[in-house]
Chain A
Amino acid sequence: MSGKQRIAASAVYLLLVALAFAFLVPVAMMLSGSFKPDDQVLVQAGRLSRLFAAEFSWFNYRDVFARVPFARYLFNSAFISLCVVAGGLLVNSLAAYAFARLHWPGRDRLLLLVVALMIIPLEAIAVPLFYEVTLLGWRDTYWVQIIPFVANAFSIYLFYTFFLGLPRELEEAARIDGAGPWRIFFRIVAPNAKPVFATVAILSFLTQWSALLWPLMVTHSETVRPLPLGMATFYSLPPLQWGDIFAFGVMMVTPVLLIFVLFQRWFVQGVATTGVKG
């Protein structure tokens, strides 16, 4: 490596470290604040030297559980997110496979419609969707937070592009070996599409885990309330205690981080293969 290259590489690394620092500081602040007494949280928030608490305490965490049914929110979010992810992986992958490999009338036009649907945000259809679920009598249930989000145009498109890239001969070989369409999908296609399954799982889990608008519109009881809505309610619950809010935040973010770490390898591979921005 020449001198110029070394300087350029050092500059890039320096920039990356600065960026990482900028992104990590708020997380570190939240984590540190969650262990501090409430009166010290805001006072020390701007000082890096005081990042680590002088006194370490679980008090804020205990407080969250005492003030709101956090475990219930956590269960609700986990249940809803996992149902959407599991259902979504099945439904969207099968739909994408039908688009990528099967021949049926109107396939290309419907695919175009699916692609067009990707640009419509939830906010645009939230009110009509609200009327629809009200008509169905689904409000304030788990299902109202699950069923409308299982089929997802973006997920279908991700699966579709990945399946197009799989060698067709694998499926043809399986057909000759005696496998039917379902077996081909579950025994040959799906095991070779782990990266895209991981990508879709993580992306839809993240979307669902942080969903606020829709639960706010369709739920009112605590029994079906997910974490983000629980946190929004918690904000407005007097007295305002920042330590508690930080503790709530830490507990809300931890499962997402764990899932990302677990599936990181496949996720990165999937993002690279499908050309999705992470």
Chain B
Amino acid sequence: MAGVELKSISKCFENGTQALKDFGAVIEDGELVVLVGASGCGKSTLLRLLAGLENVSEGEILIDGRNVNRDTPQQRNVAMVFQNYALYPHMTVRDNIAFPLRMSRIPKQRITTRVGEIADILQLSELMERRPAQLSGGQRQRVAMGRALVRDPSVFLLDEPLSNLDASLRAQIRAEISRIQKRLGTTTLYVTHDQTEAMTLGDRVVVLDYGELQQIGTPEELYQHPQNSFVARFIGSPGMNILPCELIDSGDGEVILHLGGQQISLLLEGRVYQELVPYFGQKLYTGIRPEALSCAPTHGSFALNTKVEAVEFLGYETLLYLSFPGVAQLRLEQPIIARLSGQHYKRNGDMAVFYVEPDALYFFDQAGRNILSAGNSGPAPVVGVLS
């Protein structure tokens, strides 16, 4: 086991594509870190750089404090599970798992023992003489993990290992991966484009966009304190509603929030007020989580008048797609989504009033940065609503 340090990593391919830009992160020994981002954001490239399948253009990769930039994949002692598992089709499960040990010229007796141990951990003992074509998706996935774990790697890399599985199997294997990782304590980097996977699996989550690090933190930090509107939109299912707004100073800590053609008076806490002062009168964005929109008023909440555009009933919850009456949909850039538990009998075109607690509001500048400083970058501690 070993920690991993990525120092100012950049990767530019021969065709000029810049896959990663000045990426830096430290992964602690035994930690499970999930790299998440949209397709093409550079997360798989980062894994391949770490595995030694690609060379970095700039920067340093340190495993257990040692620079491994020039090391071969084997010298790095990393193991990887590929998206399509990459099992050797002509070999049995036993031979697939034993292959890395054979390449290391380990004595046969030890190979047999070690393969047996891994087969027990992954419940593969019954399948050892089968070939990959004779296995189900979940079984193949376990064999791929077995092959990766068999030589006790320093770092374990998983590249979207669940993307070929159906939803129920995915949840099951996800729990299994988490269990095995905790049991073995191997430093693990896990790539996915699915934020649910990222949030449920990762000790910490790294959010990437266009090759740039957006934020690194625990799932709670990412959800509660997104550093920018990209992270706010990406984390959460559905992601945060980001709506254009304007703050007008009324003096004495009171501001008027112009949102969707409506004016809401907010009484801000002094510290928050001071941080927002430079942005008064500017075009800003406010963020509201879909689950922060409620049908029932609570103490201190303010009302938002909306129009229902579409309804998605999911059984345990309902998603309502909303717009502000009289405001063109285009100006909102994206629909407003409200996530309500249970079933709601709203129809397309209905008018609906939703209530939001002021401390559920986030504020982002034009560049998408969370305006409130790190300590305050959660929901703005707004004291109350004046009208």
Contacts and interface: CB of A to CB of B under 8 A. Distances in A.
Interface of A: 167, 169-170, 172-179, 183, 188, 191-192
Classify the secondary structure of A's interface with B. helix
A177 B99 contact: yes
Contacts, number: 54
A172 B90 contact: no
Nearest to B53: A172
A36 B89 CA distance: 52
B372 interface: no
B73 A192 contact: no
Contacts of A192: 88-90
Interface of B: 51-53, 72-74, 78-80, 82-84, 86, 88-90, 99-100, 103-104, 147
Nearest to A168: B86
A173 B80 contact: yes
B77 to A, nearest CB: 9
B84 A176 contact: no
Contacts of A188: 88
Contact of A169 (B74, B79, B84, B104): B84
A189 to B, nearest CB: 10
Given A172-B53, A191-B90, A178 B103 contact: yes
B229 to A, nearest CB: 35
Contacts of A172: 51, 53, 80, 82, 86
Contacts of A177: 74, 99-100, 103, 147
Nearest to A103: B14
Q: Which of B52, B73, B147 has the largest count of A CB atoms less than 10 A from its CB? A: B73
Given A176-B79, A177-B99, A177-B100, A167 B90 contact: no
A173 B52 CA distance: 11
A173 B104 contact: no
A195 to B, nearest CB: 12
B88 A170 contact: yes
B281 to A, nearest CB: 54
Nearest to B157: A176
B55 to A, nearest CB: 12
Contacts of A191: 90
A238 to B, nearest CB: 56
B148 to A, nearest CB: 8
B155 to A, nearest CB: 11
A183 B88 contact: no
18 contacts: A167-B86, A173-B80, A173-B86, A174-B88, A175-B52, A175-B73, A176-B51, A176-B52, A176-B78, A176-B100, A177-B74, A177-B103, A177-B147, A178-B73, A178-B74, A178-B104, A179-B103, A183-B103
A273 to B, nearest CB: 14
Contacts of B104: 178
A183 B147 CA distance: 17
A170 B85 CA distance: 9
A167 B80 CA distance: 16
